[in-house]
Amino acid sequence: MSDEAAGRSTALAALHREFGARLVPFAGYAMPLQYDGGIREEHLHTRRAAGLFDVSHMGQITIEGDLDQLETLVAGDIAGLPLWRQRYSLLTNADGGIRDDLMITRLPERLFVVANAAFKHDDLAHLAAGLGAACRVSLAEDRALLALQGPAAAAVLGALEPELATLPFMAARECRLAGSTCLVNRCGYTGEDGFEIALAAADAEDLARRLLADERVAPVGLGARDSLRLEAGLCLSGTDIDATTTPIAADLAWTVARKYRDGSTPARFPGAGVVLEQLTSGTPRVRVGLAPLGRVPLRAATELVDTAGHVVGTVTSGSFGASVGHPVAMGYVERACARPGTRLEVSIRDRRHEVEVRALPFVPHRYYRG
């Protein structure tokens, strides 16, 4: 597929073509689904060494002004976020549903926010309207974002800037890499140790080629990114979490600020009353891991039924877990069916297949803890 047919190109378009990427349309961009090695090999290479992902389609938003006002829109503790630290948080609606999930970093006199590609323009408008005159909100259109993920990521990046090898998890640092000014966060979307690197789009290809020159690093596309995050039990916004799903139902209660959970500070985010009530009363449905007892893959929107034939849930996303050697999925089930080991069924091509509820994640997280 041509770049034009697939959508807008990122700064790494030439590199993607050189490495044999299969381009697909995603959130208005031509993005690499996979390279010549294939999704399974890219997945496994990331788990054993390091994968380089182009995630420049994501939204890079800057907020300036009264930064603590963001607490009126997200469930996390922004006032208590230290300088050069990052927090995962959720934009909520009046019903406590999740509009989008964000990565928020406090920098000197500003917040740096990474929003999902499909929602970045809606998020920008929502943030600007909600924060009003108290803040200035802008979306960078001339920036790139690279993600270096895997157990070798710290050694690879440390060869360019030694201090990055000991950067704490969910911490940030501005530095020069291969001659480019970069904002580096130690985080990622694979369950592995890793980094996300924001930089000028004009400098992205040079840095990417420098990283790929290391034999431990391979280019990785969206296909393996999805299977890696699914094995790690990480949600895809708009698929596993959405405007009808609260943080509690999504098993993301930990994203609600401790000061709200213990009642020491009144919560101001939309839907706070609903979310805080659910902390004590629970929710009718909850997010769980799912694994078929055979080899049949589970796909989004597939209904889950109990042994009596009653519909008790729905699959939200599924893939093949190359690290665990079998299909993996997640979805929502009635609370009574959420215990790991519970047997459910799905109907695929008029045949019944057994599915087991599993604890998430399917593979242990290996984030850097210092």
DSSP state letter for 308: T
**Residue-level pLDDT, tens digit, the chain, 370 residues:** 444 556 799 999 999 999 999 999 999 999 999 999 999 999 999 999 999 999 999 999 999 999 999 999 999 999 999 999 999 999 999 999 999 999 999 999 999 999 999 999 999 999 999 999 999 999 999 999 999 999 999 999 999 999 999 999 999 999 999 999 999 999 999 999 999 999 999 999 999 999 999 999 999 999 999 999 999 999 999 999 999 999 999 999 999 999 999 999 999 999 999 999 999 999 999 999 999 998 899 999 999 999 899 999 999 999 999 999 999 999 999 999 999 999 999 998 889 999 999 999 999 999 999 8
DSSP, res 292: E
Q: What pTM does this model have?
A: 0.96
Write down the H helix ranges in the chain: 3-6, 13-18, 39-48, 120-131, 153-158, 201-212, 222-231, 258-261, 272-281
Q: Can you tell me which residue has the tokens 């959420």?
A: 338
Taking the C-alpha atoms of residue 222 and residue 91, their distance in angstroms, rounded to an integer, is 24
Question: In angstroms, rounded to a whole number, what is the distance separating the alpha carbons of residues 298 and 316?
Answer: 9
Which domains occur in the chain, in start order? 1-281 (3.30.1360.120), 284-370 (2.40.30.110)
Q: In 11-142, which ranges are E strands? A: 22-26, 29-34, 50-54, 59-65, 86-92, 98-107, 110-115, 135-140
Cβ neighbours of 343 (radius 10 Å): 12
